[in-house]
């Protein structure tokens, strides 16, 4: 009789403890063997949340998940980008989601010519779509507040790696860029610009030309020094990238120009530095930080002519002799023709 009673207690205990062990295992054991990124768009509700959890294999037991959310008073779904790492259990995941504790990401943009290009690159990294970004970047109120237009706005975006949240809005991104722009232009850099006879805006314009002339960062200070020499001498900059920009502005930025022809040099545009002296009115692309610094830390030399090397290495031949420059230009033009590059 005693043995029967003991067995009954054991069986009852087993069925009482088993659910507790099961529930504990569901709540407190790791959810995934690998890290997962959970993206919850703005406006997501609990159905969308569960669908996302299910598709990421993070919803083991929907009933127990609901119980856990109820217990923790998790009633509002916060949009965002959430990292669910391989050590995280259901209890920890709900805590993260309930607090809206997003995982930031690094936004990177470079080699960008126009506001539209920038919007396209950003839209692949954050929640906002390219149209919303373009609308923000071409906002007349923002322009009037900060004395910008679509072309001059390019100087505001200094390419770098920026830590942001996936849900950052276009306006919030603009405000962040304004802060980063102001942070870049320290008193020391403003003084350097002034010592070169330039304002911050003019540094951005020249940096954009230098960037389009050469992608070789080690050569950029040399190129910057050359253009500063021409500015001081009152010479036209005669920069091919400015002509290409003028052509694209006239005919559409989707056109491809690899070779500047003599007829192109006659285009009537304030960006055509073969026709007009001084700097163009605005940057011809979004200048990167290395290009900006290449102007501020330009190399001192006597060169006033440059021409791409005929080996297509991306580097240039520099000289202060017009006769030597003509020979360099002839060699490069022959190399283009040999490659079949006519436009």
pLDDT in tens, the chain (343 residues): 555 554 444 434 444 444 544 455 555 678 888 999 999 999 999 999 999 999 999 998 899 899 999 999 999 999 999 999 988 999 999 999 999 999 999 999 988 888 999 999 999 999 999 999 999 999 888 888 878 888 888 999 999 999 999 999 999 999 999 999 999 999 999 999 999 999 999 999 999 999 999 999 999 999 999 999 999 999 999 999 999 999 998 988 778 888 899 999 999 999 999 999 999 999 999 999 999 999 999 999 999 999 999 999 999 999 999 999 999 999 999 999 998 877 7
The model's pTM: 0.85
Euclidean distance between CA atoms 174 and 156, whole angstroms: 9
What's 20-39 look like in SS3? HHHHHHHHHCECCCCCEEEE
The residue ranges of every structural domain in the chain are 28-99, 105-184, 200-338
Determine contact, residues 214/284, Cβ cutoff 8 Å.
no
Burial 251-270 (b: 16+ CB within 10 A, else e): eeeeeebeebeeebeebebe
CATH code for the part of the protein at 28-99: 3.30.1490.480
Residue with tokens 């900059």: 237
């Amino acid at each position: 009789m005693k043995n029967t009673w003991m067995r009954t207690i054991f069986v009852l205990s087993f069925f009482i403890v088993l659910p507790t062990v099961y529930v504990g295992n569901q709540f407190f054991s790791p959810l995934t063997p690998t890290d997962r990124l959970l993206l919850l768009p703005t406006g997501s509700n609990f159905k969308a949340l569960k669908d996302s959890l299910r598709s990421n294999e993070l919803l083991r037991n929907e009933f127990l998940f609901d119980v856990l959310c109820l217990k923790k008073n998790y009633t509002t779904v916060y949009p965002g980008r959430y990292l669910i790492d391989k050590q995280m259990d259901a209890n920890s995941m709900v805590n993260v989601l309930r607090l809206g504790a997003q995982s930031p990401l690094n936004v990177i943009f470079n080699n960008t010519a126009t506001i539209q290009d920038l919007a396209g690159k950003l839209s692949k990294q954050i929640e906002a779509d390219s149209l919303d970004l373009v609308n923000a970047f071409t906002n007349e109120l923002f322009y009037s507040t900060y004395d910008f237009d679509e072309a001059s706005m390019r100087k505001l975006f200094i390419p770098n790696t920026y830590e942001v949240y996936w849900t950052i809005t276009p306006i919030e991104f603009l405000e962040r860029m304004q802060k980063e722009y102001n942070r870049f232009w320290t008193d020391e850099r403003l003084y350097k610009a002034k010592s070169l006879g330039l304002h911050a805006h003019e540094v951005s314009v020249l940096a954009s030309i230098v960037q389009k002339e050469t992608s070789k960062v080690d050569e950029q200070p040399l190129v910057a020094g050359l253009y500063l020499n021409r500015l001081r001498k009152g010479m036209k900059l005669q920069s091919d990238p400015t002509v290409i920009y003028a052509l694209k502005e006239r005919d559409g930025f989707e056109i491809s120009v690899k070779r500047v022809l003599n007829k192109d040099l006659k285009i009537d545009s304030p960006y055509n530095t073969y026709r007009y002296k001084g700097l163009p009115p605005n940057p011809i692309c979004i200048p990167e930080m290395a290009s900006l610094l290449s102007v501020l830390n330009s190399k001192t030399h006597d060169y006033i002519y440059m021409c791409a090397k005929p080996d297509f290495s991306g580097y240039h031949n520099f000289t202060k002799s017009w006769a030597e420059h003509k020979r360099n230009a002839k060699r490069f033009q022959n190399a283009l023709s040999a490659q079949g590059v006519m436009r």
